[in-house]
């Protein structure tokens, strides 16, 4: 059991150490320019079409859920017919 634990620990250390060596391009300044630009759009829509679709889908699900909840509150408040 100790041998397998030692092997697992060695594999996990190797994975972590190799993952940290990968270099990623720093894109923070690009995103800062995009989100700080004064183009009249709210921040949650500045990401483009993808953000607009996610926003509309979220709003649609929220409206549907609210109507669904109100409908079932009304139905459950009515007395059942014998």
What is d(CA 52, CA 74) in angstroms, rounded to the nearest whole number?
33
Instruction: Please report the pLDDT score of residue 16 as a whole number.
Output: 57
pLDDT of 1 higher than 60: no
What is d(CA 56, CA 46) in angstroms, rounded to the nearest whole number?
14
How do residues 37-79 score in pLDDT, each as one tens digit? 999 999 989 989 999 999 999 999 999 999 999 999 999 999 8
What is d(CA 35, CA 33) in angstroms, rounded to the nearest whole number?
6
How do residues 3-24 score in pLDDT, each as one tens digit? 677 777 777 776 555 555 568 8
Q: Which residues contact 55 (CB under 8 A, 6 or more apart)?
A: 44, 45
Token couple for 60: 């649609």
Place of tokens 């990968």: 22
Domain ranges of the chain: 43-81
């Amino acid at each position: 059991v100790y041998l397998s634990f030692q092997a697992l620990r060695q594999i996990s250390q190797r994975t972590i150490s190799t993952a940290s060596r990968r270099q990623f391009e720093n894109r923070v300044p690009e995103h800062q320019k995009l989100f700080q630009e004064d183009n009249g759009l709210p921040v949650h829509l500045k990401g483009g079409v993808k953000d607009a679709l996610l926003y509309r889908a979220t709003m649609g699900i929220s409206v549907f859920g609210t109507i669904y909840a109100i409908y079932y509150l009304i139905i459950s408040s009515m007395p059942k017919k014998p």
